[in-house]
Structure 1
Amino acid sequence: MSTRAEGEIVHFDNVGLRYSTDREVLSDLSFTLFPGRFYFLTGASGAGKTSLLRLLYLAQRPSRGVIRMFGKDAITTPRSGLPAMRRRIGVVFQDFRLVPHLSAFDNIALPLRVAGFSEGEIAGPVSDILEWVGLADRRDARPATLSGGEQQRIAIARAVIGRPEVLVADEPTGNVDPEMAVKLLRLFELLNRQGTTVVVATHDVHLLKKVSSPLIMRLDRGRLSDPTGALRYPPRRPS
Structure 2
Amino acid sequence: MNAAEGSIVQFDNVGLRYGTDREVLSDVSFTLYPGSFYFLTGASGAGKTSLLKLLYLAQRPSRGMIRMFGTDVITMRRERLPALRRRIGTVFQDFRLVDHLSSFDNVALPLRVSGVPESDIEKPVADMLDWVGLSHRSEARPPTLSGGEQQRVAIARAVIARPEILVADEPTGNVDPDMAIKLLRLFEALNRLGTTVVVATHDLHLLKKVPESLIMRLDKGRLHDPTGALRYPPRRQVG
Question: Under a length normalisation based on structure 1, what TM-score does the superposition of the two structures give?
Answer: 0.96
Q: Which consecutive residues of structure 1, in runs of 5 or more, have no partner in the other structure?
A: none
- The residue number in structure 2 matching 1:232 is 231
State the partner residue of 1:109: 108
Q: Deviations over 1:123-182 (max 9, x none)?
A: 110000000000001000000000000000000000000000000000000000000000
Tell me, yes or no, if the aligned pair for 1:108 and 1:157 is still in contact at 8 Å: yes
Match of 1:207 in 2: 206
Structure 2 unpaired stretches of 5+: none
- Between the aligned partners of 2:163 and 2:67, the Cα distance in structure 1 is 17
Q: Which residue of 2 aligns with 1:171?
A: 170
| Structure-2 change in CA distance of 1:237 and 1:33 (3 Å) | closer
- Counterpart residue number, 2:181: 182
Contact 2:48–2:200 (CA under 8 A) maintained in structure 1: yes
2:22 matched to 1:23?
yes
Q: Residue deviations 1:19-65, cap 9 Å, x none?
A: 11010000001110011100000000110000000000000000011
State the 1:238 CA deviation. Answer: 5.5
Which one-letter code corresponds to 1:233 in the other structure?
Answer: Y
1:96 aligns with 2:100: no
Is the CA contact (8 Å cut-off) linking 1:42 and 1:202 kept in structure 2? yes
Conservation of the 8 A alpha-carbon contact between 2:34 and 2:237: no
Q: Secondary structure at the match of 1:127?
A: helix
Distance 1:145 1:41, change over 3 A: same
SS in 2 for 1:15: strand
1:194–1:53 CA distance, 2 compared to 1 (3 A): same
Deviations 1:57-111 (A, max 9, x none): 0000000111100000011111110011000000000100000100000000000
Q: Distance in 2 between matches of 1:9 and 1:182?
A: 27
- The number of equivalent residue pairs is 237
In structure 1, the partner of 2:219 is: 220
Amino acid at match of 1:218: R
Aligned residue identity for 2:31: T
Runs of 4+ in 1 over 3 A off after TM superposition: 227-230, 235-239
Deviation at 1:230, TM superposition (A): 3.9
Is 1:158 the counterpart of 2:162 in the alignment?
A: no
Aligned equivalents of 2:210, 2:67: Cα separation in 1: 27
CA distance in 1, matches of 2:159, 2:193: 12
The answer to whether the Cα contact below 8 Å between 2:4 and 2:232 also exists between their aligned partners in 1 is no
Question: In the aligned structure 1, how far is the partner of 2:233 from the partner of 2:221?
Answer: 24
**Percentage identity across paired residues of the two chains:** 78
Corresponding residue for 1:198? Answer: 197
Query: Are 2:79 and 1:80 aligned?
Result: yes
What are the equivalent positions in structure 2 for 1:120-159 lying under 5 Å apart? 120-159=119-158
Q: For the residues of structure 2 that align with 1:218 and 1:49, how far apart are their CA atoms?
A: 9
Residue of structure 2 equivalent to 1:59: 58
Offset of residue 231 of structure 1: 1.1
Contact residue 25 and residue 222 of structure 2 kept, 8 A: yes
Supply the AA of the counterpart residue of 2:32. L
Q: Which amino acid aligns with 1:63?
A: S
**2:44 corresponds to which residue?**
45
User: Partner of 1:9 in structure 2?
Assistant: 8
Aligned residue identity for 1:194: L
Summarize the Cα distance change of 1:210–1:193 in structure 2 as closer, same or farther, 3 Å threshold.
same
Change (3 A) 1:118 1:40: same
